[in-house]
Amino acid sequence: MELKYLFKPSTMAVIGVSTSQDNHPANVIYTKNHLRYPVKTFPVNPKGGTLHREKLYQSVFDIEERIDMAVIAVRAEFVPKVMEDCIKKGIRGAVIVSGGFAEAGNTVLQQQVVDIAREAAFPFIGPNCLGIYAPDYVDTFFLPGERIIRPEKGNVGFVSQSGGVLVDQMVKFAGQGIGVSLAVSIGNKAFIRETDMLDWFAKDIETKVIAFYVEGFEKGEGRRFIQKTEQCGKPVVILKAGKSKKGIEAVSSHTASLAGDYRVFSEIMKQHCVAEADNEYELTSFCEALSCFQKGINGNIGVLSLSGGHGVIAVDACELHGLSVPRLDPKTMVTIREKVSPEIRNIISLGNPLDLTGSSVDNDIVVTATYLARDKAVECLLCLLIPYSPGVSADIGAKLSQVARNEGKPMIAYVPNEEKYRIIIEGFELNDIPVASSVEGAVLMAKALKRCRPC
């Protein structure tokens, strides 16, 4: 099944635009795409006439051009007929934003739509969804552009069962400078489901990490999902909602009561290297880390800080999140002591965490990071870079990024998220080093790398 016409359409029909309500979902979708996206967009309403001086098409058959994708925003009971028209017209897929299907108890109507689509091999997203945000291509979210915050184009693919969670996550991604390749709200997921999206993302060269917000799978679908994540070869992050223990009917065996639904889910994700995020903050941190580094680690962290307190906080957080802060090779410590400036040689704390103190200068930090990275016990560097001391220059982000690249080990930075330090943050981020806005956030990023390893 070909999904490129859905996610990278050149032409799109928006079916169900209102002639009287400018804030009707279909109108919002039509307007934003017509004005701001490269996709050529055609509004459809059986009444015909004009909409803002543009031609309003009475049906898809009146559009002369070939149409790649349709947004269907008509009342639920009209959807089957509209979909049949789309299929006849040769449209290659649809987003059904309309609600009033299974979520409202109308499973028969939903099944009717699915049957029509299956017979014609006509993929659709939804119903009851926001649909697709594909930067540079199309945006079917029926939310006015001025109301939402969209992340830049990037390499995270995100799929959500909930439209609200998706939009909110977009805001968080944008705030952390995480870009998306494609974000899809799959709603009732009557046709396109998580497993189909895995197939798409596996082949999509613009996507390096795939994230999901999932409430539940169908019978046996969890197993298929796991099989596909293994085939796909890209890191997968998942946030599961609905974790509370459901009453298990007729608990007649110990095992059934020990293995509640969520425990099974969570342990299997670990078994198969799917990075399960405990909450939305972890989801954001995991995506940011994995968008920079796709290879997992066993969890051995080297902590470099310019303040003793930050080092200790980081070590505590590492322990809380199941990461190790290993002892360094004595040779590493001897070398670092030799290489740093004489002024700080006797005041630094050598070990892990390693505290260079507020008297250190750029070169001390760079040299120390280099030898820390060369220590065999360390798999990933946490650089807690508080930029308050005068010896730290604005170039430190870019300089440390080069160390990570030269030494071939992942590095994660903490820099306070303030406009004043933007140049340092960008020095890291533009060089593919993720930056957290808290020490714990940096530790969560390291946890993401560990979660991508078999447990």
Partner 1 sequence: MLKNKIRTIIDAHKDLGWVLEPDAKAIMKSQGLDIPEFVLTDSFEKAEKFLKKINGPVVAKAVSKKILHKTEHQAVVTGITSGDHLKKEIERLKRLDGCEAILVEEMVQGLEVIIGAKNDFQFGPVVVFGIGGTSVEIYNDTAIRMAPIKPDDVSSMAASLKAKALLSGYRGKAGVNMEILTHTLVKFSQLIMALEDDMESLDLNPVICTKDRCIIADARIILKTA
Rounded distance between C-alpha atoms, residue 13 and residue 30, angstroms: 8
Query: Can you tell me which of 205, 220, 330, 390 binds partner 1, judged by CB under 8 A?
Result: 220
Window 15-44: residues binding partner 1 (CB under 8 A): none
Tokens of residue 279, six digits: 């909450």
Which CB sits closer to partner 1, 147 or 219?
Answer: 219
240: β partners: 214
Closest contact distance (angstroms) between CB of 298 and partner 1 is 12
Query: Can you tell me which of 111, 253, 349, 406 binds partner 1, judged by CB under 8 A?
Result: 253
Closest contact distance (angstroms) between CB of 193 and partner 1 is 13
Rounded distance between C-alpha atoms, residue 203 and residue 206, angstroms: 9
Closest contact distance (angstroms) between CB of 161 and partner 1 is 14
Closest contact distance (angstroms) between CB of 286 and partner 1 is 20
Q: Which residues contact 17 (CB under 8 A, 6 or more apart)?
A: 24, 26, 27, 30, 43, 44, 45, 51, 56, 73
Residue 155: strand, helix, or coil? strand
Of 126, 98, 134, which is closest to residue 4 (Cα–Cα)?
134
In order, the DSSP letters of 192-218 are S-HHHHHHHHHH-TT-SEEEEEES---
Closest contact distance (angstroms) between CB of 268 and partner 1 is 5
Site string for partner 1, 257-276 (x = CB under 8 A): xxx-x-xxx-xx--xx----
Question: Among 41-49, 161-169, 217-225, 405-413, which window interacts with partner 1 (CB under 8 A)?
Answer: 217-225
Neighbours of 221 (CB within 10 A): 14
Question: Among 176-184, 249-257, 333-341, 390-398, which window interacts with partner 1 (CB under 8 A)?
Answer: 249-257
Question: Among 19-27, 55-63, 87-95, 216-224, which window interacts with partner 1 (CB under 8 A)?
Answer: 216-224
Of 224, 59, 71, which is closest to residue 133 (Cα–Cα)?
71
Question: Among 161-169, 191-199, 212-220, 431-439, which window interacts with partner 1 (CB under 8 A)?
Answer: 212-220
Closest contact distance (angstroms) between CB of 86 and partner 1 is 32
Of 379, 391, 383, which is closest to residue 428 (Cα–Cα)?
383
Q: DSSP letter for 122, please.
A: -
Question: What number of chain residues touch partner 1 (CB under 8 A)?
Answer: 27
Residue 445: strand, helix, or coil? helix
Closest contact distance (angstroms) between CB of 221 and partner 1 is 6
Query: Can you tell me which of 223, 243, 245, 295 binds partner 1, judged by CB under 8 A?
Result: 223
Query: Can you tell me which of 20, 255, 279, 346 binds partner 1, judged by CB under 8 A?
Result: 255
CB neighbour burial string for 173-204, b if at least 16 within 10 angstroms, e if fewer:
bbebbbbbbbbbbbbbbbbbbbbbbbebbbeb
Rounded distance between C-alpha atoms, residue 178 and residue 429, angstroms: 10
Tell whether residue 168 is a contact of partner 1 (CB under 8 A). no
CB 290 within 8 A of CB 236: no
Question: Among 26-34, 220-228, 354-362, 413-421, which window interacts with partner 1 (CB under 8 A)?
Answer: 220-228
Closest contact distance (angstroms) between CB of 197 and partner 1 is 17
Residues forming the site for partner 1 (CB under 8 A): 216-223, 226, 252-259, 261, 263-265, 267-268, 271-272, 454-455
